[in-house]
A and B are shown apart, each in its own frame.
Chain A
Amino acid sequence: GAGVSQSPRYKVTKRGQDVALRCDPISGHVSLYWYRQALGQGPEFLTYFNYEAQQDKSGLPNDRFSAERPEGSISTLTIQRTEQRDSAMYRCASSLGTSGYNEQFFGPGTRLTVL
C-alpha cells in the first residue's frame, strides 16, 4: 500500500526489556513524526525528523526513549528498560514537506503493552 506502515502492530513485553518500533513513511515524504497516544487522549508529540536529521526531541519523556532515521526513510523508536507507564499506542506520521502546515499522514500505530 501507499500509506504509512508501522510494525509490529501489537507488542507485549515484560518490564525491563528493550523494544524497537518501526515506521515506514510514505515514499518521498521528507518529514517523519512520532507520537504517543494514551487511551482517551490525543496524540502527544515525541520527536520528528526532516530527512535523516532529528529536528526536535523535546517531547521524548526521558533518556530511555530514542529515535533514529539513518537514511532519511524508515525510522525506529527505541524504548530501553521499559516500564509499565510506557504502555500506550505509538503513532508515526509523515509529511511531504518540512513546514508545520503540511498535512501529516498517520500510520495505524503500534499498541505497546508492558507487563
Chain B
Amino acid sequence: AQSVTQLGSHVSVSEGALVLLRCNYSSSVPPYLFWYVQYPNQGLQLLLKYTSAATLVKGINGFEAEFKKSETSFHLTKPSAHMSDAAEYFCAVTYHNNDMRFGAGTRLTVKP
C-alpha cells in the first residue's frame, strides 16, 4: 500500500538557518507527492506538489522539494527559516487514484 514516512516529529532551527524536513515514500509506481502546511487552528494549505514533471519543485513561501526516485524521497527545504514558518508540515502521496495518504507530520519550531 502507498505510504509516506516523515523522519522526525519535531525539528527546531534558528531563524535564518536551513530548513530540511524529510519524507520518504513507498511505491512501485510513480507517485504524486505533496507537502502541506498546517498553522494552528487552521486547515491544511498546499505548499507544493510533484506530478512527474520537473523533479525540483518550487512552492510558496520560499519552500522547495526535490523528487529523488533512487532514494524514494521528497524532502522539503528552505534556505533561510523565518519565524512565520513555525507550523506543522505534512507530506502526502497519491497515485492514479484519489486515496491520499499523509505522513504523521513534522512540527517545525523556529528559534529567534
Contacts and interface: CB of A to CB of B under 8 A. Distances in A.
Interface centre among A40, A93, A101 (most CB of B within 10 A): A101
Interface stretch (B13-21, B66-74, B77-85, B102-110): B102-110
Nearest to B99: A45
Interface residues of B, number: 25
Interface centre among B100, B103, B104 (most CB of A within 10 A): B100
The SS class assigned to the A binding surface is loop
B63 interface: no
A31 B97 CA distance: 12
Interface residues of A, number: 29
Given A40-B104, A40-B105, A42-B90, A55 B98 contact: yes
Which 9 interchain pairs have the tightest Cβ spacing? A42-B102, A106-B43, A100-B94, A106-B44, A101-B32, A101-B51, A100-B98, A43-B102, A103-B46
